[in-house]
Amino acid sequence: MRRAGVFVLLGTLAHGSLAASKSLPRGVGPEFSAFYESKATFKCIGNPSIALKSSQINDNSCDCPDGSDEPGTAACAHLDPLSPEQPLLGSPTGTTNTTRALPGFWCANDGHIGSYIPFMYVDDGVCDYELCCDGSDESAHAGGVVCENRCGSIGKEWRRLEEERRQSVERSVKRRQTLVKEARELRRKVEVKITSLKGELESLEAKKEELEKKFEEVQRSERGKVVKGEGRGGKLGVLAGLAKTRVSELRDTLDKVLDQRDDLQDRVEQLEGILTKFREDYNPNFNDEGVKAAVKSWEDYAASATGDKKSELADADIMEVLKEDGESSGINWAEFEEEGASDAAVVYHLEAYLPGFVRDYIHTKINVLRVWLIENGVLADNPDSDGESRLVIAAREALETAKNDISSKTTALEEQKGDLQKDYGPDDIFRAFKGKCVSTDVGEYEYELCWVDKTTQKSKKGHGNTNMGNFVRIDRELADEEERADGKGLGKGQRIVLRYDNGQGCWNGPSRRTHVWLACAETDEVWRVSESEKCVYKMEVGTPAACEAVQEPGVRAKDEL
């Protein structure tokens, strides 16, 4: 009960017992006692010029324009901006649309917490025990309803629950501290990673510069040396070379297109699956034009589909085309190129017989050796190259490798930096939840919350999963809900709300969204999932992560009782 509702009650609490002893008119709160002490006359609090007989106090008829003559009845309850306006002389506005002098009807609630309740709850025949445990809100007027004083039991139960909650909160706070530590550790790891990446990047940059220089040097020195061979095969050879490049480019592109197509086909299949399920499951009776039109179109579409044998056949053709050129398939470029063996070629080709890791190692070593040999005139530069010497190529390759390295490391660094920037909530707490999920069963569905990732509805009847939204941000919102005996509720006050947007789209509607409301609990648990309007879900989730701000005033106040 350390929630907003109680805060109001507490401000005046300390004075409650002081005033209680004097016989004040019904419903007068302690801080207003002074106005009601005179036995002879009563002056309206906001309009002291209006003097009333003391018998007019609480006579169930409203006399003061600020309602102060009726602290213990509902007779002036209509003096507020929500009631239909009527002229009222003497009120600041000249109408009943005014402010009352008193905050409400005072329930002393001895043995529990005193509180003001709205005047409109007074003498309405309802014992509002949640607010007025002493039952003083009913004076046997309304149809003879009398309310017994239940502050003894209510107060006791409240204190018991309060103690339980306090302990639970203590434990939860401890857990939270552990989580904060975890999060801190995870953060530290990210920071370490960033530092190391930065270091690596620095050295890579240096290396890159070095390689650039080297590349330029090599280029310069080679420019003189290179003998520009005519290439083999004359013009036809050149053409073949060009064609080969072109073909492999086209093949690459085709390959990509094919991948893309497969992707799309997958999606179409998924969509068809969804539509088929929709067609089976939708309620034809909702008289929804949109849905019905959609179903009809789908049926037409489905009816017109002739199956995709054709594309399978086409696939075979494409696969044929995609096969690497060689002696058995496609174009045998070799026929056009006429392999001419050279000393160097032998060295180059040697690699091909080695296992991958060895090859990489050997390749580097050989390259270095080769370059050294060439530079020292031991080995002639590769006369087979297409106008560029092996040395230049090697230098370029080295440079490009370095560049690629830099770019991938930079990306990694940005990722880590971004992650560091990302809002993981207070104390970075949700960092500790990355990759974790909790779920609960509701009826025929299981609902899953993956913390900073997404929310999912999983059908137990095998209708597949539905994405209910992807995590976007952390908000705060005011919760205003009834306390639950088991403590598994949002209660009242500021709560963390995780927003998940852009889930699977709804028919005729927007994408699914989930608002995940968090409240303090010892363990992570999805308490409730509701869809109060179509495709907008609310998850109420207990987690130690939400156990911040322990020093809520309620706890302290209780001790004063």
Partner 1 sequence: MLVSSPLSGKWTASLCLLSTLCTLWTPAVSVKEHDFKKCDQSGFCKRNRVFADNAGASSSWESPYNILPESRSFKDGQFQAIVLKTINAKGDTVRLPLTVSFLESGTARVTVDEEKRQNKEIELRYDSKVRKERYNEAEEWVVVGGLGLDKEATVGFEDKSQTTVKYGPSSAFEAVIKLSPFTIDFKRDGESQIKFNDRGLLNVEHWRPKIEQPETEKKEGEGDGGEKKEETTLENKEGSSSSGEDESTWWDESFGGNTDTKPRGPESIALDISFSGFDHVYGIPSHAGPLSLRETRGGEGKYSEPYRLYNADVFEYILDSPMTLYGAIPFMQAHRKGSSVGVFWLNAAETWIDIIKAKDWRNPLSLGGSSKTSTHTHWFSESGLLDVFVFLGPTPQDLTKKYGELTGYTAMPQEFALGYHQCRWNYVSDEDVRDVDRKMDKSNLPYDVIWLDIEYTDEKKYFTWDKHTFPDPIGMGKQLDNHGRKLVTIIDPHIKNAEGYQVVTELKSKEHAVKNKEGSIFEGWCWPGSSHWIDAFSPAAREWWATLFKYDSFKGTMKNTWIWNDMNEPSVFNGPETTMPKDNIHYGGWEHRDVHNLNGMTFHNATHHAVKSREPGELQRPFVLTRSFFSGSQRVGAMWTGDNQAAWDHLHASFPMILSQGISGFPFSGADVGGFFGNPEKDLQTRWYQAGAFYPFFRGHAHIDSRRREPYLAGEPYTSIIAAALRLRYSLLPSWYTAFHQAYVDGTPIIKPMFYTHPGEEAGYDIDDQFFVGNTGLLAKPVTEQDKVTAEIWIPDNEVYYDYFTYKTIPTSKGKRAAIDAPLQKIPLLMQGGHIFARRDRPRRSSSLMKWDDYTLVVTIGRDGGKSAEGDLYVDDGESYDFEKGQYIHRKFVLNGEATTISSTDAESRDPSSVKEGDWMKKMHDVKVDRIVIVGAPASWAKKQATVESEGKSWPASLDYSAAAHGRASFATVKKVGARIGADWKVVVS
Binding site for partner 1 (CB under 8 A): 56, 59-61, 63, 74-75, 77-78, 80-87, 89, 95, 118, 120-121, 123-126, 141-144, 272-273, 276-277, 279-280, 283-285, 287-289, 292, 296, 299, 302-303, 305, 307-309, 442-444, 480-482, 508-509, 528, 530-534
Least separation in angstroms between residue 290's CB and partner 1 is: 9
- Closer Cβ to partner 1, 57 or 179, answer by number: 57
Distance, CA of 275 to CA of 287 (rounded, Å): 18
Distance, CA of 157 to CA of 312 (rounded, Å): 73
Structure tokens at 470: 């992807």
Burial of 327 (0-12, 13-18, 19+ CB in 10 A): exposed
Least separation in angstroms between residue 346's CB and partner 1 is: 54
- Interior angle at CA 82, CA 144 and CA 47, nearest 5: 85
Least separation in angstroms between residue 75's CB and partner 1 is: 7
Least separation in angstroms between residue 4's CB and partner 1 is: 11
Q: Which residues contact 392 (CB under 8 A, 6 or more apart)?
A: 215, 218, 219, 222
Report whether 120 contacts 131 (CB < 8 A): no
Beta bridge mates, 541: 518, 526
Closest listed residue to residue 231, CA positions, set 388, 390, 394: 388
Least separation in angstroms between residue 83's CB and partner 1 is: 5
Report DSSP letters for 207-275, one per residue: HHHHHHHHHHHHHHHHHHH------TTHHHHHHHHHHHHHHHHHHHHHHHHHHHHHHHHHHHHHHHHHH
Structure tokens at 14: 């300390």
Least separation in angstroms between residue 108's CB and partner 1 is: 23
Least separation in angstroms between residue 7's CB and partner 1 is: 15
**Per-residue b or e along 192-219, where b marks 16 or more CB atoms closer than 10 Å to that residue's CB:** ebbeebeeebeebeebbeebeeebeebb
Least separation in angstroms between residue 528's CB and partner 1 is: 7
- Closer Cβ to partner 1, 280 or 559, answer by number: 280
> Residue 16: how many CB atoms within 10 A of its CB?
20
Q: HSE-up of 542 (CA within 13 Å, CB side)?
A: 19
> Residue 334: how many CB atoms within 10 A of its CB?
12
- Closer Cβ to partner 1, 208 or 495, answer by number: 495
Structure tokens at 495: 């709560």
> Residue 452: how many CB atoms within 10 A of its CB?
21
- Closer Cβ to partner 1, 80 or 397, answer by number: 80
- Closer Cβ to partner 1, 146 or 354, answer by number: 146
Distance, CA of 551 to CA of 414 (rounded, Å): 38
Least separation in angstroms between residue 546's CB and partner 1 is: 20
Structure tokens at 363: 């390749």
Distance, CA of 288 to CA of 294 (rounded, Å): 10
- Closer Cβ to partner 1, 393 or 442, answer by number: 442
Look up residue 546 and give its DSSP letter.
G
Least separation in angstroms between residue 460's CB and partner 1 is: 12
- Closer Cβ to partner 1, 302 or 314, answer by number: 302
Least separation in angstroms between residue 115's CB and partner 1 is: 15
Least separation in angstroms between residue 12's CB and partner 1 is: 21
- Closer Cβ to partner 1, 141 or 207, answer by number: 141
Least separation in angstroms between residue 43's CB and partner 1 is: 16
323 three-state secondary structure: coil
Least separation in angstroms between residue 143's CB and partner 1 is: 5
- Closer Cβ to partner 1, 395 or 479, answer by number: 479
- Closer Cβ to partner 1, 56 or 168, answer by number: 56
Give the pairing of strands 536-543 and 105-107.
Answer: unpaired
Q: Which residues contact 557 (CB under 8 A, 6 or more apart)?
A: 6, 10, 13, 113
Radius of gyration of the chain (CA): 40
Beta bridge mates, 542: 519, 525
Q: Which residues contact 24 (CB under 8 A, 6 or more apart)?
A: 33, 36, 37
- Closer Cβ to partner 1, 536 or 555, answer by number: 536
- Closer Cβ to partner 1, 67 or 554, answer by number: 67
Adjacency order of strands within the sheet including 492-501: 437-442, 445-450, 454-459, 465-480, 492-501, 513-520, 536-543, 525-533
